[in-house]
Chain A
Amino acid sequence: MDRCRWAKTVEQWFDEGMTPDTPAARHAAECPCCAQTLAILEQMREGAQAAARRETVANSQFPAFMEGIREGIEAKQAPAWHFNRLWTLSSVAAAALIASASLFTVFTGERAEVEGSVVESYSTDLENAAVSSYSTENGTTTVWVTTAEEDLW
């Protein structure tokens, strides 16, 4: 479409509020090209106004609005919460299992047959002395130091 030489003037007139009885108004009323330009500018203005319009929540809509937010948050958190709970339950179960096994071992574990007291090692720092170990028939274990002569200390 060929542009009218008045096009810029008409566009400025449009932007400035379309004051009637101006040369631009009179020309726009007669020029089909400028009339089409004005129509396009009107559509663009309406589109821009629609895009810029802000949604508002009325007081009566607020409870429903908050309920929607809550549901959204819970829906997002639900999987993580389930995971944490699973972890906690698993850990508690593991702790209980370990503790139970330990207590079971401590209190009910089989005891080996007791053979009696055993002397593992013996020694003396006394001079001219020797140590021996033996058990009597009545089960008394004896560790005995024998000095060859009177202890000099």
Chain B
Amino acid sequence: MFVDVAYYIIVLATLLSVVGFVVTKDIVRAAGLLLVVLACVAAAFAFMNSLLLAMIQLMVYAGAVIVIFLFGVMLTRREAPTSRLRQLVSHENLTYLVFAALLFLLILRASAGLTSPLGYLYVSPQLVATSLYVELRGVVYALAALIGASSIGAIYVVRREKKHFDTTQGGGGEKR
């Protein structure tokens, strides 16, 4: 029970950090939140008794890859264009709301019909995972496709904004 609650706290921290990573305006803070995500994934591996994998995750991804990101990011002083991209990002409250609603619905649906010693108040992560990846795999696949599509859309929007920024500001790319 204690272990499961700790696991849920880590999952919650991962999800909140992921959302924060996407919507934050400060790029160094975004890297920091990505670090939290990777460290939480390492903790999740540790909870699944894969300590070796957890430590590799911590050393390679959290420890080394983020350092490389930070080296690049901290040496950059590029001002982000204050245009539609910024406006898109400013809808962060809506993003939080939609994300929370989707997550709540998914967990509610995944927990429905599952029995546990404490009723609906508490369902073990194993049961929820089984329900998610077996019974609701269609919804999970649809969400994964949606995330993939939004990533591609984000790249498209950023490229268009950059082109717009370069032509209006007369910049040759990076502004320091």
Do A and B pair up? The answer is no
Chain B residues packing against A (C-beta within 8 Å)? none
